[in-house]
Amino acid sequence: MKSKKDRLFAADTAPLEFAFDDRVADVFEDMISRSVPGYSTIISMIGLLARQYCLPGSVVYDLGCSLGAASLAIGNQVSHRDYRLVAVDNSPAMVNRCTENLSSLDALTDRTDIRCADILELEISRASVVVLNFTQQFIPVARRAELLDTIYQGMLPGGILILSEKIRFPDEHLDQLFIDTYHTFKEKMGYSRLEIAKKRTALENVLIPESLDTHRRRVADAGFGTVDVWFQCFNFASLVAIK
């Protein structure tokens, strides 16, 4: 299904609070590609990282899978076929579209389990690769450590966690610099200042960013021995952690 152009926050009927409903699902591919600098690079590199770390007989988890972009990258890159892919999202609208998108890739036929579920209630088992691609930022802060603990306990030794997040900076001047630069980026991508302001307000109590140090500390506290940033552009970053 081809994504519509994102004009959601240009309309007078723009949502007061952001939700992953049918309206967002219809424009999500366009929305995220124009809203997250380097998004296509992150997706393609998730595929390459999975290619290196996906073990035969293991399970790959795409948590907060949305339309399935990361899952498709994994399916296109992992060379062997002895693994299961579990793609999970709590939005029925996203899961419906993800199911349609993944059905188009023969490499994922008969090895994909797409679930509409709360990832906080999910059991993780035999995981060699776990992807949280701009997902944890929508999880209540008080439960983020719990989620990482569950992931760590369900991972095989040597497994990899890929964690992408919008971030904030402890230095308020630097933080504002990157916010302003990011808004300029969005204007260059075709969003009006009114759209940017409306969406920021709608996300204010829904998407809660944290600093890179907070992410590193929480991942390390979960037990991961290695964690660091592999990608960053403005106030968006992706980390890898290895068990």
pLDDT given at position 1: 52
CB 226 within 8 A of CB 139: no
pLDDT given at position 2: 62
pLDDT given at position 3: 67
pLDDT given at position 16: 79
pTM confidence score: 0.95
pLDDT given at position 51: 98
Fold entry, domain 1-243: Rossmann fold (3.40.50)
Q: Which residues of the chain have pLDDT under 50?
A: none
The predicted-structure confidence for 69-90, as pLDDT tens digits, reads as follows: 999 999 999 999 999 999 999 9
Q: Is the dihedral of CA 18, 20, 23, 25 positive or negative?
A: positive
81: amino acid identity, one letter: R
Token representation of residue 67: 């339309």
Token representation of residue 20: 């992953």
Nearest to 70 by CA among 106, 42, 112, 30: 42
The predicted-structure confidence for 94-106, as pLDDT tens digits, reads as follows: 999 999 999 999 9
Distance CA(128)–CA(157), nearest Å, equals 8
Distance CA(159)–CA(19), nearest Å, equals 32
